Structure 1
């Protein structure tokens, strides 16, 4: 009776006296935090907030090397960050047209009956032969195949030949009918001509591989280089780490009181969902607030994208496609090496396959081995990145991971520009409000000065009117006569004194009227000094 592996081990240990194997360690309880992690701080929030809809990472799934083990996001907290967050994020079928495509069927003009090939295979070969090979004889094409002449057999021609060359059994039948070529169609005549080339299709495939080789290298190698560099850049970027740490703080604060509160980490895919959380006014998003906070508190982190120059290219790298390309390359090289081994003896003097392809096979093998080594390094680095950010690399592919990072990077830059535009718009509006307030103050001041001026002129006009009235009535000259002095005045002195007083009053009136008239002329747009006639008329009109 067969024993299980464990029973066998116990039996051997009993025989040699080593005792039973130690039991496996029990799984760690979910309530015990590994690696010295401490419970997350519980925030006190006034009023409900919108939630950060992330998928959290439990500590038991983390390794000691995980990024989240070292994160201490509560040290980034400040009252203005959390208060601003609470203020901003308080909760509050096209019909398809069915177009019938008309298939144009090109019928082969049958001059002769097909002996071996079916109509579709013959038609495909005929189309090929009527293209770039139109003016070449079938024997010349056969010679080009033997000589590996890729000036005639271009990559596209080789691909079509590989696709449309009849299978080996049909080629054998056509080779036997070659002597009766006049009875064969054009397509069958061509197939019969090249049918005697040994290992025809493998040779064509090797030639096609050599023609496509630069294209394969130019696609695969940069992808591996970009993927490798991007893995190293994301893991080593201190600025990106600061953003993740700050985002963990914001999310935990927003999720206070929910099942997602007190998270130790979140899935990287959450970075692409920041724009889904709108603020109270539905104008900005959580991403805008994150950018604004970074700009004011951690401005160095704004340029995190500069530490990841290979992200854009890495976002287009599919490890599965690279692996398939390398596997196909490996198979093509093995087939080429086998063909070279079988073609040591030339088929004819025109057979230059070994001579032309041997050095290429060595170069391709070296390059393929190098690419395989580079791919393994990229794969290992991505595995380390998966351990660092705690995700399954088989479920969250390299292409998806870097696409999410690229999306976040681009959205971050857009949000920053939108914040700048919003600030500039607000600044222009503020300056416009200040300008309107200044203009209103100046208008009120002008009105107040004008009112004062009008009141002053009215007061002056009242004084002048009173003086003129006093002159006309003579009351301006009536005054109490002083007592007679010991030496009385000479007759006529009182009359002269009164006359001097009248002259002084008239001069004062004239000066006041001249000034008033000058102001009136200035407001009316008139210039020049007052004439005697104007002054006299003005005085007489007011007398």
Structure 2
């Protein structure tokens, strides 16, 4: 078997598992030669031809070109600079202009984050500037870093741009955490139904311990995990099962009390020390923005951002103050030191207790439904026949 046409250029190999005989196979009726005549093989060759290896003269030219470029950067930094410039897809002078003017319109946030890895050292910046008379000899990376080196307070402005670009997202996240802790603390403090449930636990606990221990006026929140671990004498159910049944039988107004605490799940993810630290860092960054605004009074981006961000940070500070008050109130109410227990730990005790309560409530409901179905026994054949006969007798007597 031969081809009517042969390639005129070197093409790549197609690594397939070839079928050598077509007798009795799908390929028996395939007309490959006819198909080759229909295909535009010249276009195919143009698109798939392999590039020829550079000749010795071409290699010499490339080496000569590299030697002619003035290399002033560390190898890794030069490689990073070239990668960043190609990804940013802006001229070096335009990148420098965007940083100088803190312009996040032409230079997006992801590019700003990349440029953090392209900050020339002081020695490199001095070399780039002192050799600027040989600018036409600079390599791609050197030229890129040269323009960046001319930006006043380059690394500071990059940090400023990153703060401006991420401010709204950071503010929303911190504000959400502050609100979650504040609302979760308040909901536990003011919930009358939760107080009644805790009263039931306290009353039963004192009753159980009265013969061997003195009476307690309350209990630590860590004790909530013990309720589901305290079993009946025959180990068939727990104290929490008993409490759930008691509420459903005698105190229906307490049913569904766990639904009052919608912010609990978010609040138990918060580390208060980290939250306060981030808010303080945001304030410090805003001071840096103010300092830069005073140095660039005609920079509208910085001017408008500072005015807007100042109002938000001030509002966040006030919300944080209210949150700390609310959290301190709920902690002290349960005999805890708010300086020593994080919301992550404090609210977790309540969250786990409520989850256990809901699970038992659900299992009891399913158990009751099962009992109801068992009571509704279908009619047997004999009972059904007797009922039909009685109905027929009553029907005949009517006539």
Residue 251 (structure 1) aligned with residue 218 (structure 2)? no
Residue 241 (structure 1) aligned with residue 195 (structure 2)? yes
Coordinate RMSD, CA, aligned: 2.9
CA contact (8 A) 2:269 2:343 kept: no
> 1:421-464: CA deviations, max 9, x gaps?
112223334455xx7xx969969xx9xxxxxxxxxxxxxxxxxx
In structure 2, distance between residues paired with 1:180 and 1:168: 19
TM-aligned CA distance change 1:124 to 1:264, over 3 Å: farther
Select the structure that is richer in helix.
2
CA contact (8 A) 1:272 1:408 kept: yes
CA contact (8 A) 2:118 2:145 kept: no
Residue in structure 2 matched with residue 219 of structure 1 by the alignment: 173
In structure 1, distance between residues paired with 2:242 and 2:268: 26
Tell me which of 198, 222, 238 is aligned to 1:285.
238
Secondary structure in structure 1 of the residue aligned to 2:306: helix
Residue in structure 2 matched with residue 373 of structure 1 by the alignment: 318
Residue in structure 2 matched with residue 331 of structure 1 by the alignment: 284
In structure 1, distance between residues paired with 2:200 and 2:242: 11
In structure 1, distance between residues paired with 2:369 and 2:75: 72
Residue 128 (structure 1) aligned with residue 84 (structure 2)? yes
In structure 2, distance between residues paired with 1:169 and 1:249: 75
Deviates more, 1:391-400 or 1:190-199: 391-400
Tell me which of 96, 101, 111 is aligned to 1:147.
101
TM-score, with length taken from structure 2: 0.72
In structure 2, distance between residues paired with 1:406 and 1:338: 45
In structure 2, distance between residues paired with 1:191 and 1:213: 28
Secondary structure in structure 2 of the residue aligned to 1:276: coil
Tell me which of 274, 278, 283 is aligned to 2:227.
274
In structure 1, distance between residues paired with 2:125 and 2:343: 46
TM-aligned CA distance change 1:111 to 1:379, over 3 Å: farther
| Unpaired stretches in structure 2, ≥5 consecutive residues | 1-62, 387-399
Residue in structure 2 matched with residue 343 of structure 1 by the alignment: 296
In structure 2, distance between residues paired with 1:114 and 1:121: 15
Residue in structure 2 matched with residue 230 of structure 1 by the alignment: 184
> 1:277-307: CA deviations, max 9, x gaps?
3445545333222211111122111222343
TM-score, with length taken from structure 1: 0.54
CA contact (8 A) 1:122 1:188 kept: yes
More contact order relative to length (CA 8 Å, sep ≥ 6): 1
Tell me which of 337, 350, 366 is aligned to 1:421.
366
In structure 1, distance between residues paired with 2:156 and 2:104: 15
Secondary structure in structure 1 of the residue aligned to 2:162: helix
In structure 2, distance between residues paired with 1:116 and 1:162: 19
TM-aligned CA distance change 1:278 to 1:425, over 3 Å: farther
Secondary structure in structure 2 of the residue aligned to 1:339: helix
Shift of 1:383: 1.1
| 1:170-249 mapped onto 2 (5 Å cutoff) | 170-249=124-203
CA contact (8 A) 2:120 2:149 kept: no
Larger Rg: 1
TM-aligned CA distance change 1:168 to 1:371, over 3 Å: farther
Tell me which of 75, 78, 90 is aligned to 1:119.
75
CA contact (8 A) 1:279 1:285 kept: yes
In structure 2, distance between residues paired with 1:252 and 1:169: 75
In structure 2, distance between residues paired with 1:387 and 1:314: 17
In structure 2, distance between residues paired with 1:174 and 1:366: 42
Residue in structure 2 matched with residue 308 of structure 1 by the alignment: 261
Shift of 1:174: 2.1
| 1:514-529 mapped onto 2 (5 Å cutoff) | none
TM-aligned CA distance change 1:180 to 1:273, over 3 Å: farther
TM-aligned CA distance change 1:163 to 1:272, over 3 Å: farther
Secondary structure in structure 1 of the residue aligned to 2:256: helix
In structure 2, distance between residues paired with 1:126 and 1:273: 62
